[in-house]
Homo-oligomer: A and B are copies of this chain.
Amino acid sequence: MNGEYTKINDFLVTVFHEVLRTEEASLKTKAFKNLSMREMHVIAAVCELEKTKTNTASNIAMTQNITSGTLATAINTLEKKGYVRREQDMRDKRVVRILATDKGKAANEIHAMFHHQLVLAIMSALSPQELAVFVNGLAAVQKFFKEQKLWSGTAGFIIQPEQ
């Protein structure tokens, strides 16, 4: 087999999970220890979507790829813990807007700082020239996934039916 192939595959199986685990571990060591990964990401989504006034329950659930029922329970506990609060939309009283409390915003800041440090760490592992091409590569992969969004969620794409 080809060396590039092997390196990419290794990266996928090894580093991917390592990064996720590192992220999770960092959560447990900081203030706000009582947040799961899921909860942290919900808070981050709330903060992000608040900016564009798209912070409705169903939209948050969609961006996180979870059902609205799952989100509802997550919001229940986050509300109990004081990180977010609900607010009924005045125009359409069916929709519930989720808002981050000050505590939620603080947690988001700290989590963003983790991402910041991680990205800086990755950048520092590459020379400026490497970095430029590397980033292009990432963008290409990202574009690829964006355009083929069909894959995930729908009937098995990547692995074609046996012919």
Contact = CB atoms under 8 A, between A and B. Distances in A.
A144 B121 contact: yes
B142 A14 contact: yes
Assembly stoichiometry (copies):
2
A158 B118 contact: yes
Interface string A5-33: 10111111111111111100110111000
A64 to B, nearest CB: 9
Interface in A15-57: 15-22, 25-26, 28-30
A106 interface: no
Main SS of chain A's interface residues? helix
22 contacts: A3-B135, A4-B123, A4-B131, A5-B120, A15-B138, A15-B145, A16-B16, A16-B20, A17-B65, A20-B20, A21-B152, A25-B151, A25-B153, A26-B156, A28-B156, A29-B155, A29-B156, A29-B157, A114-B158, A126-B141, A133-B133, A137-B137
Interface of A: 3-5, 7-22, 25-26, 28-30, 65, 110, 113-123, 125-126, 130-145, 148, 151-160
